[in-house]
Structure 1
Amino acid sequence: MDKIKVLIADDNSFIREGLKIILSSYEDFEVVVTVENGREAISYCKNHAVDIALLDVRMPDMNGVEATKAISEQTSAKPVILTTFDDDEYIVDALKYGAKGYLLKNNDPEKIRDAIKSVYAGNSIFQDVILDKIKTNLGDREPEPKIDPKLFTKREREIMSLIAKGLSNKEIAKTLFISEGTVANYITSIFGKTGLEHRTQIAVYYLTGKVK
C-alpha cells in the first residue's frame, strides 16, 4: 500500500519536528517536507506530490487559511487545519476555502492519525469544538446558507440552519414546535439527500455548500 504523503506547515520548529516524528512512526505516512509558512506550503504542493497538507493557522508571511485557499484551488493536496487555537474568526473562512478538516494540536497522536487517514479516504473531519465556535461566532445572527435551496424542503432548511447555530434536537423541537422524533426524521432525510453522516457535517455543509 502506498504511504500517505504529508506536508507539515508550522512556524514553530519544535511542533513541526515533533509532528514529523509522531507521524513518521506510523507506517501509513511519509512526511515529505516540513515548511515554516503558507507560501512555502503552496509552492511545495504545486511542484511535488502531496496527499495531505497539515497547516497551522497563525504563520508569518502567509497564514494557514490563505494557504488553504490556494492549495485547494491549485493543487490536488487536501488541506487540513491543525492548530493550537480554536480561532472562531478563522474557522468559517477555512471551511469556505476548502479545508477538509480542522483539528486541535492537543489531540492524541492516534486521533490525528485517524483524522488524516479519514480525510485521505475522502471524508471531512471537524471536531465538536469547531461547531461550538461557529455557534459563538454567529451569535444571534442568522447563518448565511451556501446550499442549493431547491434540494430541500423549507422545514429541512430551517432545521439545517438551527443545527448550524449549534442547537440540539431537543432545542430544535422546542423552537419549531415539533417533536424530537420529527426532528430526527428530517435529519435522516437530510443525510439521505447529502450523503452526510453526522451533525457537524450538516453545519459545515449549510455554511459552505460543500459536502466533501
Structure 2
Amino acid sequence: MIRLLIVDDDALIRESLKIILKMDNEIEVVDTCDNALKAIEVCSSNEIDIVLLDVRMPIINGVEATKELVKNKKTKIIILTTFDEDEYIREGIKNGASGYLLKSTPPKDIIQSIKMVAAGNHVYGSEIIEKLKDSLEKKISINKELFTERELQIMEAISEGLSNKEIAAKLFISEGTVKNYISSILDKTDLSHRTQIAIYYIKGSI
C-alpha cells in the first residue's frame, strides 16, 4: 500500500484528488494539507511514501518544501502544479523531487506516476521534459575520466529512470553495489540526489 499525502491550497483540488486516488486499491490517502508547513509536520509524525505537492502555496512554496521533505529518505515528492516555469522545474528537481507533473495530466497517468515513483523511478510529464531540454540546450561535456566505466553505466541507467533494483538486474550486480556506486558518483559530482545525477548525465551538467 502506498501511503500518500496531498498538499494543495485549493480545497477543490485536494478533495478531487482524494476522491480519485482513493479509488485505486494500492493507494491510501493518509491526509491532505492546505500548505507545505503542515505537510512537513504530517511527514514528521507519519510514515508517508509519496507527497503530491503543489508549487505556489502560502507560507512555504512547494519547491522550498521539497528540500525539507526529502530529508526523510523514505518520503518521495511528486510536484503536481499548473506552473511549468523553468525556474520551478529546475529548483524542484535540484531539491530532490522524484516527479514533476502538470495538473492537466489525466488521472490515470497521475496514478501510474505515483506507483512508478513509489517503485523508485522518476517521472516527468512530456511538457516538463521539453522544458528541460529547452532550458539546458548548452551541453557541457561530462569529464568521463572522472568516472569509472561502471559508474557511467549506472549514471546512464539512472537517466533512463531505472530503479536500483532494475539497474542491478540490468548490470548483473547487487542492489547494495548499485547504492555504493551512486554514493561514489554523488561524492565526485558534489550532487545531492539521484535526480540530479540523471539531469547531470543527460545534459552534461546540472
TM above 0.5: yes
Q: 1:115 maps to which residue?
A: 113
What code does the residue aligned with 1:195 have?
Answer: A
Q: 1:41 maps to which residue?
A: 39
Q: 1:122 to 1:34 in 2, by over 3 A?
A: same
Please give the residue correspondences for 1:12-31 in structure 2 after superposition, counting only pairs within 5 Å.
12-31=10-29
Please state if 1:94 is matched with 2:92: yes
- Structure 1 runs of 4+ with >4 Å offset: 141-145, 189-193, 207-210
Residues 139 and 204, structure 2, Cα contact 8 Å, conserved in 1: no
Counterpart CA distance in 1 for 2:136 and 2:112 is 30
Please state if 1:204 is matched with 2:199: yes
Pairwise CA RMSD of aligned residues?
Answer: 3.1
Q: Which runs of 5+ in 2 are unaligned?
A: 162-194
How far residue 12 of structure 1 moved from its aligned partner, in angstroms, is 0.4
How far residue 195 of structure 1 moved from its aligned partner, in angstroms, is 1.9
Residues 191 and 197, structure 1, Cα contact 8 Å, conserved in 2: no
SS class of match (1:8): strand
Q: 1:149 to 1:5 in 2, by over 3 A?
A: farther
Q: 1:197 to 1:42 in 2, by over 3 A?
A: same
Compute the TM-score of the two structures, normalised by the length of structure 1: 0.70
What code does the residue aligned with 1:106 have?
Answer: S
Q: Which runs of 5+ in 1 are unaligned?
A: 154-188
How far residue 144 of structure 1 moved from its aligned partner, in angstroms, is 9.7
Counterpart CA distance in 2 for 1:75 and 1:193 is 20
Q: 1:178 maps to which residue?
A: none
Taking only the aligned residue pairs, the percentage that are identical comes to: 42
Larger radius of gyration: 1
What code does the residue aligned with 2:22 have?
Answer: S
Residues 45 and 75, structure 1, Cα contact 8 Å, conserved in 2: no
Deviations 1:42-80 (A, max 9, x none): 111111110000000111111111111001124521011
Q: 1:174 maps to which residue?
A: none
Compute the TM-score of the two structures, normalised by the length of structure 2: 0.72
Counterpart CA distance in 1 for 2:22 and 2:204 is 33
Q: 1:53 maps to which residue?
A: 51
Match among 139, 157, 181 for residue 195 of structure 1: 157
Residues 8 and 34, structure 1, Cα contact 8 Å, conserved in 2: yes
